[in-house]
Amino acid sequence: QSALTQPASVSGSPGQSITISCTGTSSDVGSYNLVSWYQQHPGKAPKLMIYEGSKRPSGVSNRFSGSKSGNTASLTISGLQAEDEADYYCCSYAGSSTYVVFGGGTKLTVL
Amino acid sequence: EVQLVESGGGLVQPGRSLRLSCAASGFTFDDYAMHWVRQAPGKGLEWVSGISWNSGSIGYADSVKGRFTISRDNAKNSLYLQMNSLRAEDTALYYCAKDPHSSGWTPFDYWGQGTLVTVSS
């Protein structure tokens, strides 16, 4: 069982928007603005999509956005494209004892 | 171009040891913290360990604490993971990942392609 809870799967049609939730606790997501999101295509290494909750690395499409409310972080992908079909993982700093926790991952299917 | 190339994986019997290496290039290695993240076959990501730029700050996941040791050689632009007392549940693809900060725990802005460790008799 992962420390952060994500839905196992989400789906959407091209052009639509989807949101993936990531629920933690007051010891991780709720206490730090250090949530990051990773995209992983089959057989490939993960790619950083969002860091510090809502910041996008250079080169990442502005269709990807992040937010947080309380103990839950969210990744929103707008204008869905076929290439967005992948697994998505959230990650949070969890303090000086546990350090880092990941969510179990969400499989995004573009219909 | 940032490149992280892992090596050292393979098939090992339970209870034995293995040392993973990660060769870094394309950036000033000793300016950044580094991490190991693993992914069991068909499963999600799990952070294993991290080390600050000068090795002054080191952390481990509870699942590997006392068995794994992370280290780095800044003169060789290399990151290592010494894995002892290996268990079947350590079977995974081990990724080397770069941190954009000199001493931090997340995020991971660049990843290698991974090296596969299989623990089985």
Q: Which chain A residues are closer than 8 Å to B114 by Cβ?
A: 45
Over residues A62-95, the pLDDT tens digits come to 999 999 999 999 999 999 999 999 999 999 999 9
Neighbours of A73 (CB within 10 A): 30
| Token duo for residue B46 | 């799990």
- Within its chain, how far is the Cα of B12 from the centroid? 17
Is residue A2 over pLDDT 80? no
- In this predicted model, what pLDDT tens digit does every residue of B56-88 receive, in sequence order? 999 999 999 999 999 999 999 999 999 999 999
Distances (CA, A) of A76 to A34, A73, B58, B121: 17, 10, 33, 44
The rounded percent of chain B whose pLDDT value lies above 90 is 98
Asked if the Cβ–Cβ distance from A36 to B59 is below 8 Å, we say: no
Strand partners, A4: A103
Alpha-carbon distance of A28 to A4, in angstroms, equals 9
Of the candidates B50, B108, B113, the beta carbon closest to that of A48 is on B108
Residues 6 or more apart whose CB falls under 8 angstroms from that of A43 comprise none
Distance from CA of A61 to the nearest CA of B (A): 15
